[in-house]
Amino acid sequence: MFDFSISKSLFYFSTGIKGDPIPSLPKVDETSKLRKFVIMVLYTPGSTTNYDSSPVEKGKLRYHFLGGGEEVGNVGCILEDSSGTRLQIDYGFVPKKPPTYPEEGPPVSDVILTHSHIDHVGLAPWVVASHGAKLHCTELTAAVLEMIWRDTYKVSSIEGQPLPWDKRDLEEALDQIVTHSFDEWVDHGEWKWRFLPAGHIPGAAMVEIQFGDRNLLWSGDIDTRSSPCVIGAKAIQSDILFLESTYAGRNQPDRESEIQRFINRVVEVVERGGTCLIPSFANGRGQDMLSHLWESNLDLDVHYDGMGKRILNHYLDYPDYIRDSEKFRKIKRWARLVSSKSDRKKAIDADVIVTTSGMLDGGPAHWYLNRLRHDQRNAILLTGYQAEGSGGRQILDSSRLKIFGKLVDINLEVDQFSFSNHADHSLLVKFAKDVDASEVILFHGNQDDGQELLKKELESEEMVVHQPDNCRSYII
Domain 255-416 has CATH 3.40.50.10890: yes
CATH hierarchy code of domain 59-249+422-475: 3.60.15.10
pTM for this model (two decimals): 0.90
Domain ranges of the chain: 59-249+422-475, 255-416
Contact 280, 361 (CB under 8 A): no
Long-range contacts of 285-288 (CB under 8 A, 24+ apart): 285/358, 285/383, 285/384, 285/419, 285/421, 286/311, 286/312, 286/354, 286/355, 286/356, 286/358, 287/228, 287/229, 287/311, 287/312, 287/315, 287/328, 287/331, 288/227, 288/228, 288/229, 288/419, 288/421
Could you read off the pLDDT tens digit of each residue along the chain, which spans 476 residues? 234 433 333 333 333 222 222 233 333 333 333 322 232 222 244 557 889 999 999 999 999 999 999 999 999 999 999 999 999 999 999 987 788 899 999 999 999 999 999 999 999 999 999 999 999 999 999 999 999 999 999 988 888 888 999 999 999 999 999 999 999 999 999 999 999 999 999 999 999 999 999 999 999 999 999 999 999 999 999 999 999 999 999 999 999 999 999 999 999 999 999 999 999 999 999 999 999 999 999 999 999 999 999 999 999 999 999 999 999 999 999 999 999 999 999 999 999 999 999 999 999 999 999 999 999 999 999 999 998 889 999 999 999 999 999 999 999 999 999 999 999 999 999 999 999 999 999 999 999 999 999 999 999 999 999 999 999 999 99
